[in-house]
Every structure is written in structure tokens, then in C-alpha cells.
Structure 1
Amino acid sequence: MPRNGEDWPLISDMVAKNHRLIVFTSMASKQDTEGIAYQWNYMVENQYGNGGMYSGLCSNRVESAPLNDKNKSLVFINYFPTLPNNYDACEQNSEELMNMLQTCYHKAGNRWANFLAVDYYKRSNGGGAFQATDMVNGKHLCGCDDIHTCLPNSTSRACTTMRSTGRKFFIYEK
């Protein structure tokens, strides 16, 4: 875990040291007693469930600091209804998801999501959660609209149509 304002390590550095897992807890005491990162010390999170699915709005979860709190270096974006709905997932995990990521980017002080939580991640009317993850990875890595367009070892607006590998962030299904 970063200490004294340090940045999180790069994925490539974690792999090189065989440190490939970061665990977060919602119980503050576990950070001191078990060394598990207390999530609210490190991240902001938008509202989950129906409350987090209003077009054009991206409000923070009650337990979270405001989304634009830059003292928290990680951004967690939820985009799923309160009650899982397989039928509507195709629509939700498509243009609506991409629009929410843009909205939350602005609400989080122009920071892209590091984590994305959706229901039925394989369902969409297009690229879905995978396209959303490729987009935020591209924005993080090189500023491009898709990680596959980042030039190898690029750090700023070096985009191409070539496939490359880079720093990956996470997507998971709740």
C-alpha cells in the first residue's frame, strides 16, 4: 500500500516482485491488525444500484469521500441496478455504461475509473464492459480512446491501430 502520499505500484512492477494481489476491506480495524487496505483511505466510489444509474449524474456512495477528493487515488465506478436484470443488461452495458464512465470521469476530478462493477458483464449491444475497460485502460496508459491503440512504452497521446500490452485495471461482476 502506498504510504506518505506515494503512488500505487505499476502492475508490471508488482508482477516482477510476484506481488499480484491487492485486497481491500470495508473494516477500518483490519488495516492495522491484518495489513489489509481500508478501502476508504484509498478510493472514492459512486453510488451503487438504481441510485447510481441516473444519466448525467454520478453521486458518491454514502461511505465514500466526495468523488473529486484527490487525496484518494483510486476511483471505483458501479453501474448496475439494485435488482439484477439479465434482460436490460445488454442496454445498460453498452452506450449507457460508456456515458456513465464519461460522467463519472468529470465528477471524479477528471480521473478515470480504476475499478468497474457491472452485472452480466458478457451481455451488451456492442463492446460492453470489455470495451469500457479497454477505453479506461487506454486513457490511463497513454491517453488514447482504447488500450489497443497505445504505442508500446508510450505515456502520452501516442496512439496507433497496433495492438499492445500495458498497465491493466480491473473489471469484475458482483
Structure 2
Amino acid sequence: MLACLTDYLSLCRVTAAIGYLFLLLFSFFITVYTACFNGSCQVLDSCSQATDCGPGLYCGNCPALGKSQPFCTRGQAIVPTSIVGGLPFNKYSWLMTHNSFSIVDAPSLQGVQRLTFYNQEDTVTNQLMNGVRGLMLDMYDFNGDIWLCHSFRGQCFNFTAFQPAINTLREVETFLSQNPSEIVTIVIEDYVHTPKGLSNLFLNAGLDKYWFPVSKMPKKGEDWPTVNEMVQANHRLLVFTSVASKEAEEGIAYQWKYIIENEAGDPGVKPGSCPNRKESRPLNSKSASLFLMNYFPSYPVETEACKEHSAPLADMISTCFKAAGKE
């Protein structure tokens, strides 16, 4: 079965999966979903004000879809463990955001105009509160610290910098401490060269107490522990890096040793095609039990997000499912 049933929603309705974990990456959180009043309206119902829509929905529109009348849109993802509990971690679909830190209207801390693409509208805290359980973070050495930057050529500049990474990690720590049954995954695009830089960063953010040890991660495509077991052991933070050597040096899991991934950017949104990322093993590989599904264009356009994350997203889930040999 599909890991994520979207029903043409931008933030997908998450259900238990059979076989793979689908981490759905979205460039923007807002999306589209039908018409009535007094909290009785459901997804895609027409509406005129926020109170018309049911819980977890808001009243919005999507001009890119040719919609002139506002309708109820899902603003919160359904956390899969609220539907089915106690399954292995890889049997669920978890919502993940791409460049989670690259937030529209985030103030520049460098005193210069930021020149970069933005991928999110919500703060990281609000993303987590709205059902996101995975964050993609680009980390760089910058100004004697480790910063989150949406940059290029492996270097952070003052016009691509957002903030010190520890600020965002402290948001994650606050969320985990306030929500003791939740699990969060962080995937790092890693440009940090400072020895022990990442491990010290997570330690200083107070996240070491939630760390899922690399030694306990499945190495041959087996099931992960159940979510109940992970919560009981307080192993509620999974962290992956794009640098292979840091698994031995810092105890941070090498991403493509544990995760199969489709191509990111424009190749990942081409209808009918779901190629694997070049760093990843083929999608039908049985050697890893986590599948990370990228779905965002190379150049995000905010006004197009609601369209991209509707029917095309549902179609791509089916395409990738077949590419993984799960027909």
C-alpha cells in the first residue's frame, strides 16, 4: 500500500506504510484542499472565513489551480502514530521539510540583504507543532561557529546565512522535552569541517539525551525498533549526515548507509519518473529500510506550492512506490 494517501492534499494524510518509511519533503507548507460554515467544512469545501473549516484546517485559496473561491486547506499534518500505534519506525510515513530553516521573513543577523531562495513560511517550532517530524538542515562553519545557510560552493556567506544552528536545535530540544512521545529526524547537508563540531553542537543544544545510537540502527534493511520501544528508551532523535567519515569520528549516521532516496529538485517532480539520487542505492534495494521521498522544485515559487502539493504530489507517491518495486 502507499505510505501516504494524499487525497489531493498538500500536506498529506499520513498512514501506516508497509515496508518503507517515506519522508516527504516539501518546499512550502501551505497548500490546498472543498464549502459550508461553522466548523463543519472539510478539505476542499468552499469557505468564507477560518471558523467555517474543521479542526486542523484553514480557509485559503490557490490561484495557481484556477481557484477563485477560498476553500478549506489542511494546515496540520496527521501524525501517523495517532492512527496506528506500536509499529516499527520504518512502517510509518513522516512529514519532513526541505531547508527547514530557510524561512520567509527571517531577519538577517549579518546586517546585509540576504540573497537566497526561501522554502518555508513557518518557524521550525510551528513546523513541528503542525505535524512535521523531519528537518533538513544545511550546516556550515561560519564566523567561528556552525550556522544554517542556504548557500553554494560549500561555503556560507553573510548574504546566505540565517542563524547559528544551535538556535534551531534548541527549538527541537524544547519540542522533544514538551512532547515526550514524539520522534524527530534531522538530515544534515554537512559542510562542517571543525573536528567534533557537530557532536559538540548537539551536546550543547541538550539533544544528546534523545540520541538514537548508530550501533542500534539496522544495517541490512531490517525493521527499526517500534516507536514504543524508541520512546521508552528515549531514543527520540535520529540524526544523519552527508559525510561518511563522521559515523566513525562522531557517531553520526551516514545518510546513504541507512536511507534510500529519490532525486531532489526538478528531476524529483517530473511526472511519471522517480530516479534515485546518485548518492543513493537504487530505490528497489533491500539493504536499507528507510526511504526519503524528495518532492520540491529546484527553484521554489511560493504561489505555486499549493498546486505542486496537490494532485501532482499524490501522483508522484504512486510513481515512487512503483519504482521501489512495490506494485
Checking the alignment, whether the CA contact within 8 Å between 2:220 and 2:288 is kept in structure 1 is no
What letter matches 2:234 in structure 1? Answer: N
Counterpart in the other structure of 2:262: 46
* 1: CA distance, partners of 2:301 / 2:312: 15
Checking the alignment, whether the CA contact within 8 Å between 1:70 and 1:109 is kept in structure 2 is no
Q: CA deviation at 1:84?
A: 1.1
Computed over aligned residues only, the root mean square deviation of the Cα atoms, in angstroms, reads 1.5
Q: CA deviation at 1:15?
A: 0.7
Q: Secondary structure at the match of 1:81?
A: coil
Counterpart in the other structure of 1:91: 307
Q: Are 2:294 and 1:78 equivalent residues in the alignment?
A: yes
* 2: CA distance, partners of 1:66 / 1:6: 17
Q: Provide the aligned length of Structure 1 versus Structure 2.
A: 111
What letter matches 1:27 in structure 2? Answer: V
**From 197, 222, 245, the counterpart of 1:29:** 245
Q: Secondary structure at the match of 1:22?
A: strand
CA 1:31–1:21 in 2, change beyond 3 Å: closer, same or farther?
Answer: same
Q: CA deviation at 1:56?
A: 0.8
Checking the alignment, whether the CA contact within 8 Å between 1:67 and 1:107 is kept in structure 2 is yes
- Note the residue ranges of structure 1 that are not aligned, 5 or more in a row: 112-174
Counterpart in the other structure of 2:276: 60
Counterpart in the other structure of 1:10: 226
Q: CA deviation at 1:5?
A: 5.4
What letter matches 2:298 in structure 1? Answer: T
Give a deviation string over 1:5-44, Cα, whole Å, max 9, x none: 5421111211111110010111111111111111111111
Counterpart in the other structure of 2:236: 20
Larger Rg: 2
* TM-score normalised to structure 2 length: 0.33
Q: Secondary structure at the match of 2:237?
A: coil
Checking the alignment, whether the CA contact within 8 Å between 2:268 and 2:295 is kept in structure 1 is yes
Checking the alignment, whether the CA contact within 8 Å between 1:75 and 1:108 is kept in structure 2 is no
Checking the alignment, whether the CA contact within 8 Å between 1:56 and 1:100 is kept in structure 2 is yes
CA 1:56–1:4 in 2, change beyond 3 Å: closer, same or farther?
Answer: closer
Q: CA deviation at 1:74?
A: 0.9
CA 1:106–1:72 in 2, change beyond 3 Å: closer, same or farther?
Answer: same
Aligned identity (percent) is 52
Spell out structure 1 runs of 4+ moving beyond 3 A. 3-6
- Note the residue ranges of structure 2 that are not aligned, 5 or more in a row: 1-216
What letter matches 1:80 in structure 2? Answer: F
* 2: CA distance, partners of 1:87 / 1:55: 20
* 1: CA distance, partners of 2:221 / 2:310: 36
* 1: CA distance, partners of 2:293 / 2:222: 23
Q: List aligned pairs for 1:108-127, cutoff 5 A.
A: 108-110=324-326
* 2: CA distance, partners of 1:5 / 1:68: 11
Q: Are 2:320 and 1:104 equivalent residues in the alignment?
A: yes
Q: Secondary structure at the match of 2:326?
A: coil
Give a deviation string over 1:99-128, Cα, whole Å, max 9, x none: 1011101111219xxxxxxxxxxxxxxxxx
* 2: CA distance, partners of 1:73 / 1:94: 27
